[in-house]
Amino acid sequence: MNSLYCYLGSEGLIFLKRGFLPFQSLEQLPEPWLQSAAFYQAQKENLPSAQDYQLHLEQQYQKLPQHLRAMVSFEYFVQQSQAKREQIEKSLVKQNTERSVGAEFDLVRLQDCRVLRLNTAWDDIDSWQQLAAKGQGLIIEFDLAKCGFKSAAYNQHAQHFSALTAVKDWRPMDDLYYLFNRPLLNTRARGEQESIKAQAQEWRLARSIQAADRKIEVHGANRAMYRLPAKAVNRIILGYCCQADYCQQVKTYLKQDIHYRHVDCVQAQLDARTMQLQQVAL
In a domain, 36, yes or no: no
Residues 249 and 146 reside in one and the same domain: yes
Residue 244 neighbours by CB under 8 Å, 6+ apart:
none
Classify residue 41: in a domain, yes or no. Answer: no
Domain-located, residue 39: no
> Radius of gyration of the chain from Cα atoms?
25
Partner residues linked to 5 by β-bridges? 119, 141
The answer, yes or no, to whether residue 282 has pLDDT greater than 90, is: yes
Over residues 205-220, the mean pLDDT reads 86
pLDDT for residue 113 is more than 70: yes
Q: What percent of the chain has pLDDT over 90?
A: 55
120 is a domain residue = yes
Q: What is the mean pLDDT of residues 233-245?
A: 97
Q: List phi, psi (to 5°) of 199.
A: -75, -30
pLDDT score, position 243: 96
Mean pLDDT of 21-47: 81
What are the residues facing 159 on neighbouring strands? 207
The larger pLDDT score, comparing residue 161 to residue 215, is at 161
**Does 43 map to a domain?**
no
φ and ψ at 139, to 5 degrees? -120, 140
Any domain includes 45: no
| Residue 130 and residue 100 share a domain | no
Give the per-residue pLDDT at 102.
47
Q: Are residues 134 and 81 in the same domain?
A: no
Q: Which residue has the higher pLDDT, 215 or 239?
A: 239
Mean pLDDT of the chain: 87
Which residues lie below 8 Å from residue 162, measured CB to CB, with a gap of 6+? 180, 203, 204
Which of 62, 88, 104 delimits the end of a domain?
Answer: 104
* 138 and 59 inside one domain: no
| 103, pLDDT greater than 50 | no
Q: Which of 69, 104, 139 is the last residue of a domain?
A: 104
Other Cβ atoms less than 10 A from the Cβ of 165: the count is: 14
222 and 128 both lie in a single domain: yes
CB 5 within 8 A of CB 21: no
Is 97 in the same domain as 121?
A: no
pLDDT of amino acid 178? 92
User: Can you give the pLDDT at residue 187?
Assistant: 52
Evaluate if residue 195 carries a pLDDT over 60: no
Cα angle value 17/1/127 (rounded, 5°): 55
DSSP letter at 152?
Answer: S
What does the pLDDT read at residue 18?
Answer: 94
Number of domains comprising the chain:
2
Report which listed range, 86-100, 110-124, 163-177, is most confident. 110-124
Same domain, 8 and 59: no
Task: Establish how many alpha carbons lie within 13 A of residue 253's alpha carbon, considering only the half-sphere containing its beta carbon.
Answer: 12
The answer to whether the CB of 147 falls within 8 A of the CB of 159 is no
Does residue 146 sit in the same domain as residue 87?
Answer: no
d(CA 140, CA 249): 16
Q: Please report which residue ranges of the chain form alpha helices under DSSP H.
A: 12-18, 50-62, 66-71, 74-81, 85-98, 101-104, 125-131, 144-147, 177-180, 189-200, 244-256
Q: Is 188:153 a contact under the CB 8 Å cutoff?
A: no
Q: Is 140 contained in some domain?
A: yes
**In which band, very low, low, confident or very high, does the pLDDT at 245 lie, cut at 50, 70 and 90?**
very high
Average pLDDT over residues 239-268: 96
| Whether 166 and 74 share a structural domain | no
pTM confidence score:
0.75
Alpha carbons 79 and 72: distance in angstroms, whole number: 11
Domain edge (last residue) among 81, 104, 127: 104
Q: Same domain, yes or no, for 251 and 125?
A: yes
User: Do 14 and 135 lie in a common domain?
Assistant: yes
Domain-located, residue 116: yes
Domain hosting 72: range is 50-104
Q: What is the pLDDT of residues 62-101, one digit of tens each?
A: 988 988 888 889 888 888 888 888 888 888 877 765 554 4
Q: Are residues 164 and 86 in the same domain?
A: no
